[in-house]
Amino acid sequence: MANWEIVEMHRSSANWPKMVEEIVRIEKRVFPKHESLAQSFEEELRKKNSGLLYSKIGGEIAGYVMYSWPSSLFASITKLAVKENHRRQGHGEALLKEAIQKCRTRNVHRISLHVDPSRGQAMSLYKKLGFQVDSLIEGYYSSDRNAYRMYLDFDTD
């Protein structure tokens, strides 16, 4: 297996435009148009309380996770995507673990996310890392596609 690393994306980085462009391409391939943040991706990243991590093999981005912490108690995993040819190699799990760790350093009490119940691999990954199903939200993605809201709570002792 090729060596890969997880990188935190910084707006001040010289290769910011190139990285955003590459991530937007992944976004467009992985998510249906009405779920994609491709049109507003850079805008999302400019928000004060948001972060983005990506896994990189050589010069290629294999996957990314976008997260935010709208309050001091709560964080959200906004997007997690891995290119088709890099799936089942640990990228998604490594990215999610790193995002969880970043949120933990901000002392949030809960991280939540939404996932299509039919995305079995995603559901398995989230459950493996301790996320629990909170509720089913009907019509979340579209009139015929629901989502589970899932959460991960941290001990606050």
Q: Quick one: which of 96, 79, 85 has its CA closest to 36? A: 79
- Residue 8: which domain range? 4-153
pLDDT recorded at residue 95: 94
Give CA–CA dist 55/20, Å, rounded.
13
pLDDT digits (tens, 9 = 90+) for 22-77: 888 888 887 777 666 666 667 777 777 888 888 888 778 889 999 988 877 899 99
Residue 5 burial (CB count, 10 A):
9
> How many separate domains does the chain show?
1
**pTM for the full model?**
0.85
pLDDT digits (tens, 9 = 90+) for 105-128: 888 899 999 999 998 889 999 999
Instruction: Give me the CATH number covering residue 83.
Output: 3.40.630.30
Lookup: tokens for 130: 């301790």
Q: Quick one: which of 153, 52, 48, 62 has its CA closest to 108? A: 153
- The answer, yes or no, to whether residue 146 has pLDDT greater than 50, is yes
